């Protein structure tokens, strides 16, 4: 019996000098994998325009039905995104999200990106619904607006205006 | 010879009726041949080459859409060659097609996407930049065109030419620069423009109202029936998050044939208008205060009770109901007759006299087979638009189309317009009837009367009566469409048709009457009439109540002490603005049940917020007597209630439970309709007899006192229906407020010259003490001697000049500038 006791204490003693597995979490954070999928962000082009065009493909790709996109037409004077369409409402319910990344994969403009941020705890359910205010980045990214794909939007144009430069020479 | 042929498609024997196209024949066998330009309702043109198939014996692949089935034909649709060709066609179509799918409204229901996915090459070999064309072109009132996306299948232009028979849309430019456009200076403002959105196999033509509202996969779809006019086209309501996002057609070959008019398709945003009344309102002095339903109903009940106590139940009148479902209309008349006890109830709010006619029941598909279509004082494009497509098609195929009346219908198909003033219409028809009956009339051309018609030949340049008589003599199938505005005209029309019947043997004669509101016929069958009980049963002799005109007169004279209006903005719709004004200001207690605070509702003592059509379930009767059912598609909204619920609650507040659940009411209505049904259609009512239905004959054609202005000239004022005119539905709809007709006075060039009026000049139309100033427009379409104004237009209320009919003599004079400035 003493033998067993000594063995147990020995194990404890040995473990005491091993490298610690636990982290002092709020002060020390765990290393995350390079492709860790955390909170979403909606990126901006280098010229500051939003990359999201409100296509709703992320919404339909999401297996958890966590995303809601409401598109609208851009104001030609003050566009949100290149081209005619943008998302005037964009919501992700982080409580529903399973961080599968399918939305990111579906996004045709690479606007949607899952960051490595994981600290999403909060006190109410409502506060877990992230809107445009928390999802759209304030900073720009190195992406450039692709040419041809999103021609500048001038608003609806009358049928019989001067056709001018637009038909290719 | 048999009518079917047997052919082999992909090794399978297929039986198909002779003359069928290969695409449809393959579909019968469950084999899909991909198409772009082909559409079964349009003539095949074979421009896109997507449908190429191999036919044995043919040197080259042939387009299936332009090939008809033949006996013994051997077709292959899935060979390597065909697969290769399809890839080639798709690659070619995508050559200059922009990468717009993520922002394109068609995405998710786009044949180009689907076919590319199914038959196209997986990758693109294109490395040079795509051609650029204009995007977001404002094609018309409701449509945005993206020139880059168009694949030039020409479905839209073919629809415009073959179905709408208008020919405004054309293909402009040549070769790779080709694009869809309109003739220079024109906009695409057809009443049927919305259909090209559904026809377009790509996202080149999209709806302004639905622009960037959602994706097909996030819409929940509810089948419904359009309530904007009495045709009753079948529609599909697409909701997103409980909001009506768009309206699509739901093909019913017997009613709409898959088409919708723009009013039906685009006039839906009023349902979510912020201007809707959302709470019962009670008048306190000059203002309204919002109150609870209980309070509002109690107030109405106590006021009605005191009116009944002091003046008897006959001092209460009920007007409206042409847009209610049959069940609601039935409850409505129960409220009036049982709970209140008054016989005064009428659904007619716009001066129509006759809504249905048992005599010569007409069906919409009668028009398809007609060889003569006679329009009597009616503008089908404005009053029954989708049915007008059948008329246009009939005329294009060679049927004689004759229009009688004070306003030209403005068709682009061959037709004869015979200008006849409403006052002379009955006589005109009666004379035509005797000519047809006599079987002669050739020698009488000289003395043919065009009573009431203005001097000079009409635009048709033919003698009208002779043309009509000649057409009717040889006709086998006649469809008469009548506006129902004057019972005497109806009787004359009956005589004319009787005359045709006598001379013929197997003739089919039918009459269609577009009601003034979507369910006028249903309301009539449910007894929302002073002279008829539910089921067209006449009331006992002498017990008939007052009709709308009678009630208004009684109210104006102070004999009616309470008026209850349901969805009736009489100030706008009733052709005697002065009478309405007097009646509404005189009547001591006015209840208005409506969606919006219309000018009529603003005069009310109590306003009850009703729910829009999408929140109702029940049945409707369309203009041919077809019963169509709708289901509740949407909740009534926080504080509005469906009309039926309001009637029931009010009856209860009156202490008269109608002691019927909605199921019982539904059952009774069904029973009533079944009783009325002949050959699957609800029959019409009998034509009112010579004695008139108690109502004083409309004072149409008589002047209301004479202003006797020295500088004025007397012209006949003709107020014409306009599809986009009238109704809170149009006024409070962002898509429609812009296209609503503006009030204007339209003159024939000769009259304008005589009066010294130029386009845009302010002109004063006056009748008695009432005068209205409108900007002038000049159009050769207008009959000489008349001045045309649109009904329900934005601007001064023209019905102030009318006296019960939609036409009246007025004095016209040009306003001198000082007076205006
Ligand atoms: S990560 Fe997955 S579950 Fe979360 S929003 Fe995206 S698609 Fe939906
Ligand atoms: S995030 Fe991407 S996929 Fe989602 S709506 Fe925006 S552009 Fe479309
Ligand atoms: S606009 Fe649409 S329907 Fe018209 S030709 Fe182009 S692709 Fe066809
Ligand atoms: S024709 Fe009448 S029923 Fe049909 S869509 Fe137009 S308004 Fe509605
Ligand atoms: S579908 Fe046959 S050629 Fe277009």
Question: What residues are in contact with ligand 1 under a 6 Å CB criterion?
Answer: A 61-64, 66-67, 92, 97-103
Question: Which residue, by CA, sits nearest to atom 4 of ligand 4?
Answer: B233
Same domain, B9 and B152: no
User: Residue B142: closest CA among chain A residues belongs to which residue?
Assistant: A156
- How crowded is residue B656: how many other Cβ atoms within 10 Å of its Cβ? 16
Is residue B604 pLDDT above 80, yes or no? yes
Same domain, B545 and B656: yes
CATH number, domain of B265, equals: 3.30.70.20
Residue pairs between chains A and B whose CB atoms are closer than 8 Å: 80
Q: Output the pLDDT for position B705.
A: 41
- Contact in structure between B465 and B428 (CB atoms under 8 Å): yes
Residue B127 lies in a domain: no
Best residue among A112, A143, A145, A146 to mutate for probing ligand 2's pocket (most ligand atoms within 8 Å of CB) is A112
CATH number, domain of B337, equals: 3.40.50.740
Same domain, B663 and B552: yes
B483-529: per-residue pLDDT in tens? Answer: 998 889 999 999 999 888 866 567 889 999 999 999 999 999 999 99
Q: Separation of A99 CA from ligand 2 center, angstroms? A: 16
Confirm or reject contact between A157 and chain B (CB < 8 A). Answer: yes
The correct CATH number of A35-135 out of 3.30.1540.10, 3.40.630.10, 3.30.70.3270, 1.10.3720.10 is: 3.30.70.3270
- E strands, B460-588, are 477-482, 508-512, 532-533, 537-538, 562-566
Same domain, B344 and B295: yes
Least distant ligand from the CA of A95: 1
Q: Output the pLDDT for position A169.
A: 33
A30-79: per-residue pLDDT in tens? Answer: 889 999 999 999 999 999 999 999 999 999 999 999 999 999 999 999 99
Q: Output the pLDDT for position B458.
A: 40
Of B254, B272, B290, which closes a domain? B272
Confirm or reject contact between A82 and chain B (CB < 8 A). Answer: no
Least distant ligand from the CA of B153: 3
- DSSP 8-state code for residue B796: S
Q: Output the pLDDT for position B502.
A: 64
- Residue whose token pair is 């229906």: B721
Distance CA A130, CA B642 (A): 37
- How crowded is residue B627: how many other Cβ atoms within 10 Å of its Cβ? 22
Find the range with the poorest average confidence among B131-140, B275-284, B306-315, B689-698.
B689-698
Instruction: List residues of chain B with CB under 8 Å from any CB of chain A.
Output: 98-99, 101-103, 107, 129-140, 144-145, 177, 181-182, 184-185, 187-188, 208, 211-215, 217-218
B62-102: per-residue pLDDT in tens? Answer: 999 999 999 999 999 999 999 999 999 999 999 999 989 99
B380 Cβ below 6 A of ligand 4? no
| Residues spanned by the domain of B813 | 713-820
Distance CA B260, CA A110 (A): 40
Mean pLDDT of B747-768: 91
Same domain, B407 and B493: yes
B810 Cβ below 6 A of ligand 3? no
Mean pLDDT of B361-374: 93
Contact across the interface for B102 and A60, Cβ inside 8 Å = no
Same domain, B498 and B458: yes
Q: Separation of A103 CA from ligand 2 center, angstroms? A: 8
Closest to B768 measured CA to CA, from B603, B554, B552, B577: B577
Residue B223 lies in a domain: yes
> SS3 for B14?
strand
Distance CA B762, CA B815 (A): 6
Same domain, B471 and B409: yes
Contact across the interface for B103 and A84, Cβ inside 8 Å = yes
Mean pLDDT of A11-18: 90
Residue B758 lies in a domain: yes
Higher pLDDT, B449 or B359: B359
All residues at 6 or more sequence positions from B489 whose CB lies less than 8 Å from its CB, including other chains: B376, B377, B422, B425, B426, B429, B482
For chain B, give the mean pLDDT.
Answer: 88
Q: Output the pLDDT for position B446.
A: 37
- Smallest CA–CA distance, residue B340 to chain A, in Å, is 49
A104 Cβ below 6 A of ligand 2? no
- CA-B205 nearest atom, ligand 3: 1
CA dist B600 → B569, B578, B666, B725 (Å): 5, 13, 31, 17
Q: Output the pLDDT for position B448.
A: 38
Same domain, B534 and B574: yes
B702-712: per-residue pLDDT in tens? Answer: 444 444 444 57
B37 Cβ below 6 A of ligand 5? yes
Is residue B443 pLDDT above 80, yes or no? no
Higher pLDDT, B634 or B528: B528
- Tell me the percentage of chain B whose pLDDT exceeds 70: 92
Residue B438 lies in a domain: yes
The beta-carbon neighbor of A148 closest among B130, B140, B187 is B130
Least distant ligand from the CA of A100: 1
Of B628, B659, B682, which closes a domain? B682
- Smallest CA–CA distance, residue B132 to chain A, in Å, is 6
Same domain, B475 and B547: no
Which residues of chain B neighbour A71 with C-beta distances below 8 Å?
212-214
Is residue B257 pLDDT above 90, yes or no? yes
User: Residue B169: closest CA among chain A residues belongs to which residue?
Assistant: A159
Under the banding of pLDDT at 50, 70 and 90, the label for residue B363 is: very high
Contact across the interface for A156 and B138, Cβ inside 8 Å = yes
User: Residue B213: closest CA among chain A residues belongs to which residue?
Assistant: A71
Is residue B156 pLDDT above 60, yes or no? yes
Distance CA B816, CA B709 (A): 14
B765 Cβ below 6 A of ligand 3? no
Q: Separation of B167 CA from ligand 3 center, angstroms? A: 15
- The count of domains in chain B is 5
Which residues of chain A neighbour B215 with C-beta distances below 8 Å?
56, 59-60
Distance CA B119, CA B7 (A): 25
CATH number, domain of B24, equals: 3.10.20.740
Same domain, B410 and B472: yes
Mean pLDDT of B554-577: 94
Residue B330: in which H helix or E strand, if any?
helix B326-334
Q: HEC profile for B376-435?
A: ECCCHHHHCHHHHHHHHHHHHHCCEEEEEECCCCCCCCCCEEEECCHHHHHHHHHHHHHH
Question: Which residue, by CA, sits nearest to atom 2 of ligand 1?
Answer: A100
Distance, CA of B677 to chain centre: 24
Is residue B444 pLDDT above 90, yes or no? no
B420 Cβ below 6 A of ligand 5? no
Closest to B488 measured CA to CA, from B688, B194, B726, B695: B688
Residue B372: in which H helix or E strand, if any?
strand B372-376
Same domain, B484 and B554: no
Residue B207 lies in a domain: yes
- CA-A56 nearest atom, ligand 2: 5
Q: Output the pLDDT for position B401.
A: 95
Residue B97 lies in a domain: no
Same domain, B671 and B535: yes
B229 Cβ below 6 A of ligand 4? yes
Closest to B354 measured CA to CA, from B124, B531, B205: B531
**Which pTM was predicted?**
0.90
Q: Separation of B220 CA from ligand 2 center, angstroms? A: 22
Q: Output the pLDDT for position A9.
A: 93
- Residue whose token pair is 């009774």: B668
Q: Separation of A61 CA from ligand 2 center, angstroms? A: 10
Mean pLDDT of B263-273: 92
Q: Tell which of B133, B212, B216, B241 to mutate to test the A interface (max A CBs under 10 Å).
A: B212
Under the banding of pLDDT at 50, 70 and 90, the label for residue A162 is: low
Q: Output the pLDDT for position B551.
A: 96
Distance CA B717, CA B789 (A): 7
Q: Output the pLDDT for position B816.
A: 67
In terms of residues, how long is chain A? 169
- Residue whose token pair is 């409707």: B620
CATH number, domain of B473, equals: 3.40.228.10
Contact across the interface for B99 and A149, Cβ inside 8 Å = yes
B122-150: per-residue pLDDT in tens? Answer: 888 888 888 888 889 999 899 999 999 99
Closest to B100 measured CA to CA, from A112, A72, A83: A83
Distance CA B301, CA B92 (A): 72
Under the banding of pLDDT at 50, 70 and 90, the label for residue B690 is: low
Confirm or reject contact between A156 and chain B (CB < 8 A). Answer: yes
Of B272, B302, B320, which closes a domain? B272
Question: Which residue, by CA, sits nearest to atom 6 of ligand 3?
Answer: B150
């Amino acid at each position: 019996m003493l033998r067993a006791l000594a063995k147990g204490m020995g194990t404890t003693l040995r473990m005491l000098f091993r490298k610690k597995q636990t982290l002092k979490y709020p002060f020390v954070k765990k290393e995350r994998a390079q492709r860790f999928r955390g909170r979403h962000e909606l990126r901006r082009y280098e010229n500051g325009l939003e990359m999201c065009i409100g296509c709703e493909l992320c919404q339909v790709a999401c297996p958890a039905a966590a995303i809601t996109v409401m598109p609208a037409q851009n104001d030609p004077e003050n566009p949100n995104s290149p081209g005619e369409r943008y998302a005037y409402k964009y919501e992700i319910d982080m409580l529903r999200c399973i961080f599968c990344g399918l939305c990111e994969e579906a996004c045709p403009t690479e606007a949607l990106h899952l960051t490595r941020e994981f600290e999403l705890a909060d006190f109410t359910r409502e506060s877990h619904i992230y809107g445009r205010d928390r999802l759209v980045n304030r900073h720009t990214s190195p992406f450039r607006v692709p040419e041809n794909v999103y021609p500048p939007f001038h608003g609806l144009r009358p049928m019989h205006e001067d056709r001018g430069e637009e038909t290719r020479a | 010879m048999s009518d079917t042929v047997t052919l082999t498609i992909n090794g399978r024997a297929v039986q198909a009726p002779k003359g069928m196209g290969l695409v449809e024949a393959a579909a019968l066998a469950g084999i899909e041949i991909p198409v772009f330009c082909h559409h079964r309702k349009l003539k095949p043109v074979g421009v896109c080459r997507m449908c190429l198939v191999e036919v044995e014996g043919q040197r080259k692949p042939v387009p299936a859409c332009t090939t008809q089935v033949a006996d013994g034909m051997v077709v292959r649709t899935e060979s390597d060659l065909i697969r290769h060709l399809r890839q080639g066609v798709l690659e070619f179509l995508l050559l200059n097609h922009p990468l717009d799918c993520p922002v394109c409204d068609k995405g998710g229901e786009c044949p180009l996407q689907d076919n590319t996915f199914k038959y196209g090459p997986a990758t693109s070999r294109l490395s040079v930049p795509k051609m650029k064309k204009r995007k977001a072109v404002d094609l018309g009132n409701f449509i945005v065109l993206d020139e880059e996306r168009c694949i030039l299948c020409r479905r839209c232009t073919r629809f415009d030419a073959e179905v709408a028979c208008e020919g405004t849309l054309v293909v402009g430019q040549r070769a790779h620069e080709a694009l869809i456009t309109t003739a220079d200076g024109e906009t695409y403002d057809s009443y049927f423009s919305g259909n090209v959105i559904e026809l377009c196999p790509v996202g080149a033509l999209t709806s302004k109202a639905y622009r960037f509202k959602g994706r097909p996969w996030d819409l929940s779809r509810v089948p419904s029936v359009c309530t904007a006019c009495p045709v009753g086209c079948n529609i599909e309501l697409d909701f997103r998050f409980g909001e009506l996002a768009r309206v699509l057609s739901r093909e019913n070959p017997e009613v709409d044939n898959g088409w919708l008019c723009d009013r039906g398709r685009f006039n839906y945003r009023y349902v979510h208008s912020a201007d809707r009344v959302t709470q019962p309102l009670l008048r306190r002095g000059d203002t309204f205060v919002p109150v609870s339903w209980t309070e509002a109903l109690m107030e109405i009940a106590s006021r009605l009770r005191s009116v009944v106590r002091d003046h008897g139940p006959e001092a209460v009148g009920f007007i409206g109901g042409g847009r209610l479902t049959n069940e609601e209309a039935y409850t409505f008349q129960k409220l009036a007759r049982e709970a209140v006890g008054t016989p005064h109830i009428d659904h007619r709010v716009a001066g129509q006299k006759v809504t249905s006619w048992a005599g010569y029941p007409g069906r919409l598909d009668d028009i398809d087979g007609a060889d003569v279509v006679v329009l009597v004082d009616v503008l089908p494009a404005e009053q029954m638009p989708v049915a007008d497509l059948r008329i246009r098609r009939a005329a294009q195929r060679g049927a004689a189309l004759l229009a009688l009346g004070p306003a030209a219908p403005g068709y682009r198909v061959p037709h004869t317009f015979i200008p006849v003033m409403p006052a002379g219409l009955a006589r005109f028809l009666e004379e035509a009837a005797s000519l047809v009956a006599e079987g002669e009339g050739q020698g009488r051309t000289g003395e043919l009367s065009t009573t009431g018609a203005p001097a000079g030949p009409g635009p048709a340049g033919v003698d009208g009566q002779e043309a009509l008589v000649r057409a009717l003599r040889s006709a086998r199938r006649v469809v008469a469409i009548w506006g129902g505005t004057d019972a005497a005209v109806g009787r004359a029309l009956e005589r004319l048709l009787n005359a045709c019947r006598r001379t013929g043997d197997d003739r089919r004669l039918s009459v269609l009457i577009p009601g003034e509101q979507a369910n006028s016929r249903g309301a009539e069958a449910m007894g929302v009439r002073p002279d008829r009980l539910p089921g067209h049963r006449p009331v006992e002799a002498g017990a008939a109540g007052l009709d709308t005109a009678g009630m208004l007169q009684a109210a104006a004279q102070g004999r009616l002490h309470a008026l209850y209006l349901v969805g009736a903005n009489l100030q706008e719709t009733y052709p005697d603005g002065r009478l309405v004004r007097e009646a509404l200001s005189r009547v001591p207690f006015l209840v208005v049940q409506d969606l919006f605070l219309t000018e009529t509702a603003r005069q009310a003592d109590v306003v009850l917020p009703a729910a829009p059509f999408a929140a109702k379930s029940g049945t409707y009767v369309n203009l041919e007597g077809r019963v169509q059912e709708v289901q509740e598609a949407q909740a009534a909204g926080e504080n509005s209630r469906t009309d039926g619920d309001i009637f029931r609650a009010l009856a209860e507040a009156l202490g008269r439970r109608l002691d019927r659940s909605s199921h019982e009411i539904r059952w009774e209505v069904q029973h009533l309709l079944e009783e009325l049904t002949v050959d699957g259609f609800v029959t019409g009512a009998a034509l009112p007899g010579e004695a008139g239905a108690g109502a004083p004959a409309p004072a149409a054609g008589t002047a209301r006192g004479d202003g006797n202005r020295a500088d004025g000239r007397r012209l006949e004022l003709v107020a014409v229906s306009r599809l986009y005119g009238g109704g809170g539905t149009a006024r409070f709809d962002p898509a429609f407020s812009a296209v609503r007709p503006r009030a204007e006075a339209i003159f024939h060039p000769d009259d304008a010259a005589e009066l010294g009026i130029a386009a845009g000049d302010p002109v004063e139309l006056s009748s008695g003490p009432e005068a209205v100033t409108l900007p002038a427009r000049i159009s050769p379409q207008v009959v000489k001697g008349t001045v045309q104004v649109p009904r329900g237009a934005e601007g001064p209320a023209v019905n102030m000049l009318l006296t019960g009919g939609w036409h009246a003599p007025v004095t016209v004079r040009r306003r001198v500038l000082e007076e205006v400035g």
